[in-house]
Amino acid sequence: MADGLTVTGVRAGYGAINVLWDVSLTAKAGELTAIIGPNGAGKTTLLRAIMGLLPLGGGTVSLGPQRLDRLPTWRLAQAGIALIPEGRMLFDAMSVEDNLLIGAYPTAQRAHAVRRLAAAYAMFPKLRERRRQLAGSLSGGEAQMLVLARGLMADPKVLLVDEPSLGLAPVVVDELFGVLARLRHEGLTIVLVEQHTERAVAIADQVHLMQSGKVVLSRRAAEVNLAQLHEQYFGLS
Ligand SMILES: Nc1ncnc2c1ncn2[C@@H]1O[C@H](COP(=O)(O)OP(=O)(O)OP(=O)(O)O)[C@@H](O)[C@H]1O
Ligand SMILES: [Mg+2]
């Protein structure tokens, strides 16, 4: 049985400004956990705090029995946590394939990288077609697929994904969500931060709603009432 991610009582922020207040949530192994909430709620900050990119002012982060907080980010990567950050930080002047190979670095043996590359191309055939092309010449959708594929090159146990659909055309968002659903189906543990609430809830097992740096609602996705959610927290209906 794989291990889930547990966040307990986390406080974090930027210098003197605290953003996360006593955040607790779990992402069960093999499930897709969606984190939704309005702009500025602290979703990105939470992913950064989990990944060790921000010091915690309190609380713990664990993968199964293993404490992750206080470990440097590279150790978290080795432990099997991968963050696909907001904005698509690719090496534009490098080829698609070289961008992918960089993602394999936590377990950098060549044979392993070659196997992961084959798996990436099987999942993203378009990237195989474009493997010699510069990453900077990809379309927005292709670039997002490349970022996702690069994160998967390390063969993570837990994938943290921050707003992957940002700025993509609806048809590309469909494709992206299809890939996430497939990864979940294959047993990957996924934490997805998304603005597309409806789509996120549709593929999620568990949903956490954040507001002003706190988790204000945690539900099984099947029990989420979208209309009520929008009315209560987004003022959209
Ligand atoms: N580097 C930073 N320095 C200071 N404050 C920051 C920094 N990054 C974010 N913040 C603040 O922290 C709060 C939470 O921001 P965060 O980016 O985590 O929100 P979010 O839920 O990801 O929002 P969005 O949906 O817009 O991506 C905001 O008030 C933001 O202004
Ligand atoms: Mg964000």
Q: Are 145 and 124 in contact (CB under 8 A)?
A: yes
Q: Which residues surround ligand 2, an ion (CB under 5 A)?
A: 43-44
DSSP state letter for 109: -
Q: Which atom of ligand 1 is nearest to the CA of 193?
A: 22
Residue nearest to atom 27 of ligand 1 (CA): 39
Q: What are the pocket residues of ligand 1 if the criterion is a CB atom closer than 6 Å to any ligand atom?
A: 14, 17, 19, 37, 39-45
Ligand 1 centre to CA of 214 (Å) is 13
Confidence at residue 108, expressed as pLDDT on a 0 to 100 scale: 57
Q: What is this structure's pTM?
A: 0.93
**Residues 143, 149, 151, 154: is their CA dihedral positive or negative?**
negative
44-64: average pLDDT: 97
Ligand 2 centre to CA of 106 (Å) is 26
pLDDT digits (tens, 9 = 90+) for 79-134: 999 999 987 789 999 999 999 998 886 555 677 888 999 999 999 999 999 999 99
User: Both tokens of residue 30?
Assistant: 């093999």
Which string of b and e fits 165-181 if b means at least 16 CB within 10 Å?
beebeeebbebbbebbe
Structural domain containing residue 158: 5-234
Give the CA distances from residue 93 to residues 76, 120, 126, 129, 154, in Å, rounded to whole numbers and listed in that order: 28, 20, 19, 18, 22
Distance CA 19, CA 40 (A): 9
Residue nearest to atom 24 of ligand 1 (CA): 39
Which string of b and e fits 102-112 if b means at least 16 CB within 10 Å?
bbbebeeeeee
Confidence at residue 157, expressed as pLDDT on a 0 to 100 scale: 95
Residue 172: HSE in the Cβ half-sphere, 13 Å Cα cutoff = 14
Listed in sequence order, the residues at least 6 apart from 69 whose beta carbon sits closer than 8 Å to its beta carbon are 52, 56, 59, 60, 61, 62
Confidence at residue 237, expressed as pLDDT on a 0 to 100 scale: 40
224-232: average pLDDT: 82
Confidence at residue 1, expressed as pLDDT on a 0 to 100 scale: 59
Ligand 1 centre to CA of 19 (Å) is 8
Confidence at residue 229, expressed as pLDDT on a 0 to 100 scale: 78
- Mean predicted lDDT score pLDDT of the chain: 92
Confidence at residue 235, expressed as pLDDT on a 0 to 100 scale: 59
Query: How many structural domains are present in the chain?
Result: 1
Confidence at residue 106, expressed as pLDDT on a 0 to 100 scale: 57
Ligand 1 centre to CA of 45 (Å) is 6
Give the CA distances from residue 21 to residues 35, 74, 128, in Å, rounded to whole numbers and listed in that order: 16, 26, 43
Ligand 2 centre to CA of 36 (Å) is 10
pLDDT digits (tens, 9 = 90+) for 138-191: 999 999 999 999 999 988 999 999 999 998 989 999 999 999 999 999 999 999
Q: Which atom of ligand 1 is nearest to the CA of 163?
A: 27
Provide the CATH number for the domain around residue 12.
Answer: 3.40.50.300
Confidence at residue 231, expressed as pLDDT on a 0 to 100 scale: 77
Listed in sequence order, the residues at least 6 apart from 227 whose beta carbon sits closer than 8 Å to its beta carbon are 237
Confidence at residue 205, expressed as pLDDT on a 0 to 100 scale: 98
Q: Are 209 and 233 in contact (CB under 8 A)?
A: yes
pLDDT digits (tens, 9 = 90+) for 117-128: 999 999 999 999
Closest CA to 139 of 111, 171, 110, 107: 171
Confidence at residue 107, expressed as pLDDT on a 0 to 100 scale: 55
